[in-house]
Structure 1
Amino acid sequence: MIYTRFIACGDSFTEGMTDDFVEGQYRGWADRVADILASGSPDFTYANLAIRGKLVRQVVSDQVPVAMTFVTGKETVVSFHAGANDVLRPNYKQEIVLPLYAQAVRDLAASGATVLLFTVLERTGNTGKTADIWAARFSEFNKNVRAIAQEVGAVVADANEDSFMSDLRFLAKDRLHLNPMGHDRVAQGVLEVLGLPFAPQWRTPLPPAPAIPFLRRSLNYAQWFTSFLIPWMWRRVRRKSSGDGRSAKYPTPISWSISRPPDMSRSSLS
């Protein structure tokens, strides 16, 4: 099928943190997918409504209704990814978040769009009580994603389908957001589930990582703790979000010129 419009909804994952910085914006997997869609349709348009730090209720109330006004039919892809920020919070209430997520997907499907959903990695190699709690929460979250996708006929990009995606080398220094390699892998996975040209080797795991000396690991952890974890926790205490005051990077559908010439013969494998 030829898709002529792509509307992306969500949080930092879909905004593109922390991919390459292009013309003052993070590029991200969604821009990478838009490149391929634009190469297949001269009339292609793209909107990215995602804003970092947003909770599911904010994405549902602020982005989904807007996205629905842009839908022209099945030739419009609407991606929806929200809820991970909720799951990470101590006061997470799945009895509120999961039904809210499911109803938003139903509404998007009823608009006539091709709906694209995502599961979330349940494990990233971390251990301990907190990691176990998050893994259990994300497992239930993912069950909800798959169930509503089956109900409405949505397309799912499943992060847990291949274990290689849990490689920490796909993450930025904050250990939360994807780096350029990670965004490229996600983009290739999305292209595959949409039935579009993709790099066939995108599922190839990275080569084994060299051993990191204990002292270097300790220094890396200390740097991460002070540079990323403490500021994140401080925002939670103050009930602040990294997305406060920010606007969507492409709030209405625009004609999309390819941000970087697509090379479908390769993926980020090193």
Structure 2
Amino acid sequence: MSGYSNGRDIVSYVALGDSFTEGMDDPYPGPEGTGEVRYRGWADRLAEHLAATCGEVRYANLAVRGRLIRPIVEHQVPRAVELRPDLVTLCAGGNDIIRPGADPDLTARIFEAAVRRLAATGARVVVFTGMDTAFQPVMRHLRGKIATYNMHLRAIADHYGCDVVDLWSMRVLQDHRAWSEDRLHLSPEGHRRIALRVCEILDASPPEDWRAPWPAEDPRPWRAARQEDLLWAREYLVPWIGRRLAGRSSGDGRAAKRPALVPLQPARRGG
């Protein structure tokens, strides 16, 4: 039994946030014959591991792709408070920080309001810093804002006694294989490593080391890399900018994938 369970056989866990917590781009097939693709992600992987080590786990994932911090605070946080789980993970504000004119100080104040409400329930609250974008040419200029936001998040976590998953220091995520083709969302392997990191923070007996080196690979020829950059800009960057300019979100009209606390089966081996 994990160090987190404290002898309890039932653990309830609610995950809050945006696409990072919804699980994009870590797909697994939907019901047979439907052609539907669902997303697993680090939060599902964490819940599955807890189910394997703590006994029965009830799990809800309220995260929806594209969500800004205000909708998360206004809609997801009250639902989490209503569910009164033992464990809450909150990652929010990233979609705000990457927008032009974003104010990390204001975003942090909104984040603190969410943490205050969640901590008041007695739940164990885990929060996430933003990632270091130094390795991403398009996002590199946002490092200052992200670093400022991260300092606020750490101060908030200290004040309310939250655990912190420091994504900024996870250098393993700076490998291109940690990211999907759109370079905005994690790959399945990126999600797996973050799940292992959260397990470590929860003292939940992670089955592997998230720091494990990536297998060696041959360097990509310069010309091929530039062609990939051009393809990425056309297929992903331009549509993303278009949605922002139009005030649209990839999550418009979408609901949470797991809106209620429902018992979860233990993790599938090899996943």
TM-score, reference length from structure 2:
0.90
Answering whether residue 196 of structure 2 is matched by residue 188 of structure 1, we say: yes
Partner of 1:7: 14
Partner of 1:266: none
Runs of 4+ with deviation above 6 angstroms: none
Which amino acid is 1:131 matched to? Answer: R
Q: CA deviation at 1:88?
A: 0.7
The alignment partner of 1:160 has SS state of helix
Q: CA deviation at 1:26?
A: 0.4
Q: CA deviation at 1:124?
A: 4.3
Q: Deviations over 1:14-35 (max 9, x none)?
A: 0000013242310100000011
Q: How well do the aligned residues superpose, as a CA RMSD in angstroms?
A: 1.7
Give ranges in structure 2 of 5+ residues lacking alignment.
Answer: 31-36
Instruction: Spell out the pairing of 1:68-217 with structure 2 (5 A cutoff).
Output: 68-72=81-85, 76-127=86-137, 131-132=140-141, 134-217=142-225
TM-score, reference length from structure 1:
0.90
**8 Å CA contact 1:54, 1:85 repeated in 2:** yes
Distance 1:244 1:259 in 2: 30
**8 Å CA contact 2:182, 2:236 repeated in 1:** yes
Instruction: Spell out the pairing of 1:242-257 with structure 2 (5 A cutoff).
Output: 242-257=250-265
**8 Å CA contact 2:105, 2:149 repeated in 1:** no
Q: CA deviation at 1:119?
A: 0.9
Q: CA deviation at 1:229?
A: 0.4
Q: CA deviation at 1:208?
A: 4.2
Which amino acid is 2:18 matched to? Answer: D
Which amino acid is 1:110 matched to? Answer: A
Q: Indicate how the Cα distance of structure 1 residues 145 and 240 shifts in structure 2: closer, same or farther if over 3 A, else same.
A: same
- Identical-residue share of aligned pairs (%): 37
Q: Which moved more, 1:28-37 or 1:90-99?
A: 90-99
Give ranges in structure 1 of 5+ residues lacking alignment.
Answer: 264-270
Partner of 2:27: 20
Partner of 1:29: 42
Distance 2:136 2:11 in 1: 40
Which amino acid is 1:91 matched to? Answer: G
The alignment partner of 1:199 has SS state of coil
Which amino acid is 2:198 matched to? Answer: V
Q: CA deviation at 1:122?
A: 1.8
**8 Å CA contact 1:36, 1:262 repeated in 2:** no
